[in-house]
Amino acid sequence: MLASTLFVTTVAAQPTPVPTPQQKQQVQDLVKQAIARSQADDHAGAIELYQQAYATTPLPTLLSNIGAEYQIAAKPVEALKYFCMYLEKDPAGPLASYATGQAKLLQSQLTNTAVDDANVCKAPAPPPPPPPPPVEQPKVVVTAAPEDPGKGLKTTGLIVGGVGVVSLGLGVYFGLQAKKISDDISDNDEMWRNDIIAYQDKGQRSEYLQITFLAVGGAAVIGGALLYMKGRGKTKAAESMTVTPTMGPGGSASLTLSGAF
C-alpha cells in the first residue's frame, strides 16, 4: 500500500501534467493491479502495469515505483535507470530523497565506489584499458665458431719449426766461423800465431756447435712440419706436448716429442 499512497500524494502534488478524471481513474486501477502483482512476487507483471500507467499519464512517481520493482527483482542496472529518470523528471519531488538514496546504493553495488548525492546518476568512468602485453624482445643467439681441434698441434708445429729455423741459422753461422778458422790455419805459410792452440780450439768448438745446431735445427723443422700437418687433420686438439732436444755421443742430436694427442 506504500506505493499506492506515494502515487496518490504525487498526483496531488504534481502541477503538470494534470490527468483527466478518466485518466486518473485508469492510472489508479493500474497502480492497484501493480501493487497486487508486487505483493504476489510477480515483479515483472507489476513493472508492466506501472509502465502502462506511465504511458497513460507520465507521472514521475511511477518511474520511482518501476525502479523499486526492478530493485526487488535484483536488476540493479534497470533499477538505477528508473530512479535516475525520476530524479531527472522531478529533482525536487517528494520522492527525491528516497530515489537519491537508492541510486547511491545501486551505484556502490555496481561500481564498488562511493558517490555523493550530486553524482548518483553520473555514468561511471570507464575502466582504464588493460596494459598492453609486454613486447617480447627478440632473442639474439650468438653461436660461437667451433674451436679448431688441431689448433694446439698446428701452433706447436709452428713454434718447433721456428726454433728449427733459428737453430739452422746458428749452425750455418758456426759452420762459417769454423771454416774461416780452418782456412786461416791451413793457408798460414808464415810464422804461427802466438794463440794458435786457442785459435784452433775455437775452430773445433765452432765446428761442434755447427753440427749440433744443424742437427737440432733439422730435426725441429721436420718435427714442426709433421706436427703442423697432423694438426690440420686432427679431430681433437692435443692436450699436452713436450718438445725436448737431446744430444747424443759424438755430437749427434735428436728431438723428443712427448704428450697426449
Average predicted confidence (pLDDT) for the chain = 76
The mean pLDDT value for 184-198 works out to 65
**In this predicted model, what pLDDT tens digit does every residue of 141-163 receive, in sequence order?**
666 556 777 777 778 878 877 88
How many whole angstroms separate alpha carbon 200 and alpha carbon 210? 15
**pLDDT reported for residue 72:** 92
**pLDDT reported for residue 199:** 66
- Band (211; pLDDT cuts 50, 70, 90): confident
End-to-end CA distance of the chain: 108
**pLDDT reported for residue 241:** 54
Assigned C-alpha cell, 70: 526492478
For CA atoms 172, 173, 177, 183, give the dihedral sign: positive
**pLDDT reported for residue 253:** 57
* Cβ–Cβ under 8 Å, residues 171 and 212: yes
**pLDDT reported for residue 35:** 94
Highest mean pLDDT, choosing among 68-77, 99-108, 247-256: 68-77
Pairwise pLDDT comparison (141 vs 208), residue with the higher score: 208
- Band (12; pLDDT cuts 50, 70, 90): very low
Report cis status (omega within 30 of 0) of the bond before 128. Answer: no
* Cβ–Cβ under 8 Å, residues 56 and 23: yes
**pLDDT reported for residue 49:** 93
DSSP state of 17: S
Pairwise pLDDT comparison (76 vs 179), residue with the higher score: 76
Beta-strand (E) ranges in 69-141? none
DSSP state of 57: S
List beta partners, residue 243: 257
* Cβ–Cβ under 8 Å, residues 23 and 57: yes
Pairwise pLDDT comparison (233 vs 4), residue with the higher score: 233
**In this predicted model, what pLDDT tens digit does every residue of 76-95 receive, in sequence order?**
999 889 989 998 888 888 98
Q: Collapse the DSSP code of 241 into the 3-class scheme (helix H, G, I; strand E, B; otherwise coil) and give the result.
A: strand
Residue 51's nearest CA partner among 40, 67, 39, 36 is: 67
> Quick one: how far is CA 175 from the chain centroid?
71
Fold observed for domain 2-119: 1.25.40
Pairwise pLDDT comparison (7 vs 219), residue with the higher score: 219
226-237 exposure pattern, b = at least 16 Cβ within 10 A, e = fewer: ebbebbeebeeb
Of the candidate ranges 103-117, 125-139, 177-191, 218-232, the one whose mean pLDDT is the lowest: 177-191
DSSP state of 119: G
Pairwise pLDDT comparison (226 vs 186), residue with the higher score: 226
